[in-house]
């Protein structure tokens, strides 16, 4: 694994959490997203962030990981900047799909938190996916697309909510 992290320290307590720079770098959300899509075996995912500059780069990395997850061709609804309520509403409006929210706190070295949600709107825990995600990353088994036709796509949430699904 290039640029490894302390997985036990970062993926803990029902979330992915750590300082940027330091514990979390731009590869981490990519790895987590690709593994999350694979663990949930989903073809659709909603992703949001808190709108702070530090989360923008990590949000983009998460989107790229999700669309590049193995052969799932995941359609990722980019909910942009919103809070947990907005993300959960988007997940429900899109038919009950999994989701992720990336937030930060602090003014210096930021503390980043990535929360993953199942299709039921509950936060993913150790036994519902985090342990599997950690194990995939630790074993350097982050899924990548088999070929270009297996790659997913990113769609603005507004385009999906307005569309007939």
pTM of the model: 0.91
CB proximity list for 53: less than 8 A, separation 6 or greater? none
Q: What is the pLDDT of residues 31-90, one digit of tens each?
A: 999 999 999 999 999 999 999 888 988 999 999 999 998 888 899 999 999 999 999 999
d(CA 89, CA 103): 17
Q: Say which residue the tokens 């979330």 belong to.
A: 15
Q: N- to C-terminal Cα distance for the chain?
A: 39
CB atoms inside a 10 Å sphere around CB 1: 13
8 Å CB contact between 94 and 160: yes
Tell which residue, 31, 122, 117, has the closest CA to residue 77: 117
The half-sphere exposure of 64 on its side-chain side, counting CA atoms within 13 A, is: 12
């Amino acid at each position: 694994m290039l640029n490894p992290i302390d997985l036990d320290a970062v993926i803990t307590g029902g979330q992915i959490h750590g300082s940027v720079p330091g514990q979390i770098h731009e590869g981490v959300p990519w790895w987590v997203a690709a593994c999350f899509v694979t663990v949930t075996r989903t073809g659709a995912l909603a992703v949001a962030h808190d709108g702070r500059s530090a989360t923008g780069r990590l949000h983009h990395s998460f989107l790229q990981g999700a669309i590049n997850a193995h052969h799932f061709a995941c359609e990722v609804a980019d909910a942009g900047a919103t809070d947990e309520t907005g993300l959960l509403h988007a997940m429900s409006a899109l038919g009950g799909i999994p989701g992720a929210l990336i937030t930060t706190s602090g003014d210096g070295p930021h503390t980043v938190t990535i929360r993953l949600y199942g299709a039921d709107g509950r936060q993913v825990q150790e036994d519902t996916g985090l342990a599997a995600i950690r194990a995939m990353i630790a074993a350097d088994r982050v899924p990548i697309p088999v070929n270009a036709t297996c790659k997913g796509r990113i769609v603005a949430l507004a385009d999906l909510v307005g569309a007939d699904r």
